[in-house]
Amino acid sequence: MTDIERLRYDVVVIGAGGAGLRAAIEARLQGKKTAIISKSLFGKAHTVMAEGGAAAAMGNANPNDNWQVHFRDTMRGGKFLNSWRMAELHAKEAPDRIWELEAWGALFDRTKDGKISQRNFGGHEYPRLAHVGDRTGLELIRTCQQKIVALQQEDHAEFGDYDARLKVFAETTITRLLKDEQGRICGAFGYIRETGKFVVFEAPAVVLATGGIGKSFKVTSNSWEYTGDGHALALLAGASLINMEFVQFHPTGMVWPPSVKGILVTESVRGDGGVLKNSDGKRFMFDYIPDVFKDKYATSEEEADRWYDDPDNNRRPPELLPRDEVARAINSEVKAGRGSPHGGVFLDIASRLKPEQIIKRLPSMHHQFKELADVDITAEPMEVGPTCHYVMGGVEVDPDTAAASVPGLFAAGEVSGGMHGSNRLGGNSLSDLLVFGRRAGLGAAEYASATTVSVPDAEVEAAVAEAMEPYQRDTGENPYAVHQELQQTMNDLVGIIRREDELEQAIEALGKLRDRVGNVAVAPSAGATVTEDRGPAYHPGWHLALDLRNMMIVSECVARAALERQESRGGHTRDDYPKMSADWRKINLVCSLRDGVVELKRQEMSPMREDLLSLFELDELKKYLTEGELPAEEKN
């Protein structure tokens, strides 16, 4: 036991995507000794796959934009279930976070007057997304990565050691958060993939920035790391999750060939003029404009097409409705037998823009379809369909400090919950990462200044024992097979459209899978050294076996919350409860763990502050809120 390396830090950030890197930068700027735990190599996190852009009301493309408009759009997109305080902070601070990236070397596309260009996206009233072609996430992560290197260079100049105050632990996975006798976070336990060695981080403050849960689903745009690690670590440490029933199915994933099914096709295709058509060649989105958005979207193709050049005098094309609406519409078209040959619908940009414009604005889409599907998007339409993309639910946090309910635990980015309500708008994720990454880094740094901790041996022993289980079993199931079944179950029974009987079936199936997850076995590679202080070196089967626990817990949360919420809203569509209910709007479903079992409770949301409420017209509020919640003076 004593052989296991113990490393002391003030702040440990788990996750090296946009939120994690931004949190780490902030903690280091506050003078804290900070560790970044990256499940992959430094700079490879899922953030690189974000394409469209980062939403920030800078007003560069349309001077009428401001934080209030962005706030309103975000609340509407989330169907008013958002934590209004998070949505407020996000809308107010996003521009500064984008400008800061530019000062760190980011090169966004420009407007004619040399400012950062902004593009249209679903649910955003004005062109708002700062972007670099269709590879904005890569720019964001590379810029943060390079800022970290810049800080390390400062430390090298000062201390002769790049890692003196900010160190990246690449290819390192945390399997447990550690707590002391007082119930506070005191560190984290994990393994280093390259060597299999166990490692203990001793730290008063831990920031979770582990991203999402997409790998619990079969068809997903998410990469292998998205196994719900932070969600599960938080639950296991005693924190709670909210809104887990809300899973965003991005309307446009690739559907063919089978091996790339689910890979994302950016919303920018539609933002730049792309339209959705069914097998009859019809632009079907006009048939799917919901009541709450009726007055904001065009009802004819002519008006929709005029909007691109004259947005002030025309309404938006319905292809740019929030993602939940578009995903459901595609699903309905396919079910009605009007789908494309491979079970999607057609996304056509070829007839809308010149080939050179397409290649300029959507280079990676052009490349992706050419290389992976033999489709030239400048000449023919793409086939697309919904893919599991994002989880709105996550760790319940204090909006201002990103602190979870367990002392010393913080969360930011996709792993945190509340900001996006029941549905996230495209472009709001990258800005979310930056705004709340920074706040989590600040919150953690402040907390760490006043706290010292040490890790009890028993905590480490328990974590080691758990990590060793899969290769200590002589017989057991193949983790890959169990994973595939879990993904199929979630896809079939807890997917985009849900029903009570299917959700009950899912919960039963998950119960059986839980036993099987507890019984997976992997054999260490021939000749591998496995000792008290290390597991097998770079053994993907073992890694998956450990990740399965997390996917399992998270899947149960999603299924149970989805069964409980008897309404349809955003990323939660119930076939048997198709309407949105104002009574349900006030309710957050909170998941926690008791003796390893997921518990669910209803929790009333705090009413929106008056000044924020007054940003909306009464008629609009009436569509979402109960009578009692409407502004007092206008009730009659």
Partner 1 sequence: MGYKAKFRVWRGDAGEGELKDYTVEVNEGEVVLDVIHRLQATEAPDLAVRWNCKAGKCGSCSAEINGRPRLMCMTRMSTFAEDETVTVTPMRTFPVIRDLVTDVSYNYEKAREIPAFDGGDVKPGEFRMQQVDVERSQEFRKCIECFLCNNTCHVIRDHEENKEHFSGPRFLMRVAELEMHPADVQDRRQIAQDDFGLGYCNITKCCTEVCPEHIKITDNALIPMKERVVGRRYDPLVWLGSKIGVVKRGKSTPKA
Nearer to partner 1 by Cβ, of 43 and 271: the residue is 43
Residues numbered 300-319 forming contacts with partner 1, rule: CB under 8 A: none
Rounded least distance, CB 256 to partner 1, Å: 7
Window 188-227: contact mask with partner 1 (x via CB under 8 A): ------x----------------------------xxx--
Q: What is the C-alpha separation between 54 and 62, in angstroms, rounded?
A: 16
Rounded least distance, CB 444 to partner 1, Å: 23
Query: Site size for partner 1, by CB under 8 A?
Result: 76
- Residue 462 touching partner 1 (CB under 8 A): no
Rounded least distance, CB 576 to partner 1, Å: 35
Letter string b/e over residues 69-105, b meaning 16 or more CB atoms within 10 A of that residue's CB: bbbbbbbbbbbbbbbbbbbbbbbbbbbebbebbeeee
Report which DSSP code applies to 575. T
Q: What is the C-alpha separation between 118 and 59, in angstroms, rounded?
A: 8
- Residue 475 touching partner 1 (CB under 8 A): no
Nearer to partner 1 by Cβ, of 45 and 276: the residue is 45
Nearer to partner 1 by Cβ, of 156 and 622: the residue is 156
Q: What is the C-alpha separation between 518 and 216, in angstroms, rounded?
A: 16
Question: Angle 540-564/229-236 helices, nearest 10 degrees?
Answer: 70
| 231 annotated active-site | no
Rounded least distance, CB 520 to partner 1, Å: 10
Rounded least distance, CB 178 to partner 1, Å: 27
Q: What is the C-alpha separation between 384 and 381, in angstroms, rounded?
A: 9
Residues numbered 498-557 forming contacts with partner 1, rule: CB under 8 A: 522-525, 527-528, 536-542
Residue 42 corresponds to which tokens in the numbers above? 């430094």
Nearer to partner 1 by Cβ, of 207 and 521: the residue is 521
- Residue 139 touching partner 1 (CB under 8 A): yes
Question: Which of 2, 258, 312, 627 lies at the binding interface for partner 1 (CB under 8 A)?
Answer: 258
Question: Which of 21, 94, 138, 455 lies at the binding interface for partner 1 (CB under 8 A)?
Answer: 138
- Residue 264 touching partner 1 (CB under 8 A): yes
Residue 583 corresponds to which tokens in the numbers above? 């009574």
Nearer to partner 1 by Cβ, of 162 and 286: the residue is 162
Nearer to partner 1 by Cβ, of 132 and 397: the residue is 132
- CB neighbours (10 Å) of residue 192? 20
Residues numbered 152-171 forming contacts with partner 1, rule: CB under 8 A: 152-153, 156-157, 162, 170
Q: What is the C-alpha separation between 203 and 8, in angstroms, rounded?
A: 6
Question: What is the β-pairing status of strands 54-55 and 129-130?
Answer: antiparallel
Nearer to partner 1 by Cβ, of 76 and 167: the residue is 167
Per the DSSP assignment, residues forming a β-bridge with 178 are: 187
Residues 349, 269: contact at Cβ < 8 Å?
A: yes
Residue 227 corresponds to which tokens in the numbers above? 């196994």
Letter string b/e over residues 336-345, b meaning 16 or more CB atoms within 10 A of that residue's CB: eeebbeeebb
Active-site residue identified among 28, 176, 250, 560: 250
- Residue 437 touching partner 1 (CB under 8 A): no
Nearer to partner 1 by Cβ, of 368 and 555: the residue is 368
Nearer to partner 1 by Cβ, of 282 and 367: the residue is 367
Question: Which of 2, 63, 103, 610 lies at the binding interface for partner 1 (CB under 8 A)?
Answer: 103
Residues numbered 43-102 forming contacts with partner 1, rule: CB under 8 A: 43-46, 48-49, 95-96, 99-100, 102
Nearest to 169 by CA among 137, 198, 143, 139: 198
Rounded least distance, CB 499 to partner 1, Å: 31
Question: Which of 115, 184, 283, 352 lies at the binding interface for partner 1 (CB under 8 A)?
Answer: 115
Using CB under 8 A, which of the segments 118-126, 287-295, 360-368, 623-631 binds partner 1? 360-368
- Residue 147 touching partner 1 (CB under 8 A): yes
Q: Which phi and psi (to 5°) does residue 591 adopt? A: -100, 140
Active-site residue identified among 97, 270, 420, 539: 270
Question: What is the β-pairing status of strands 166-169 and 247-254?
Answer: unpaired
Rounded least distance, CB 627 to partner 1, Å: 44
| 483 annotated active-site | no
Nearest 10 degrees: Cα torsion 29, 34, 35, 36: -20
Rounded least distance, CB 73 to partner 1, Å: 22
Rounded least distance, CB 257 to partner 1, Å: 2
Q: Which phi and psi (to 5°) does residue 456 adopt? A: -65, 140
Tell me if residue 264 falls in helix, strand or coil.
Answer: strand
Residues numbered 4-43 forming contacts with partner 1, rule: CB under 8 A: 40-43
Question: Which of 63, 113, 604, 611 lies at the binding interface for partner 1 (CB under 8 A)?
Answer: 113
Which residues fall within 8 angstroms of residue 465, CB to CB, at 6 or more apart?
none
Which residues fall within 8 angstroms of residue 126, CB to CB, at 6 or more apart?
57, 59, 61, 62, 64, 65, 69, 118, 311
Nearer to partner 1 by Cβ, of 224 and 308: the residue is 224
Question: Angle 84-103/428-449 helices, nearest 10 degrees?
Answer: 90
Residues numbered 367-406 forming contacts with partner 1, rule: CB under 8 A: 367-368, 371-373
Residues assigned a catalytic role: 250, 270
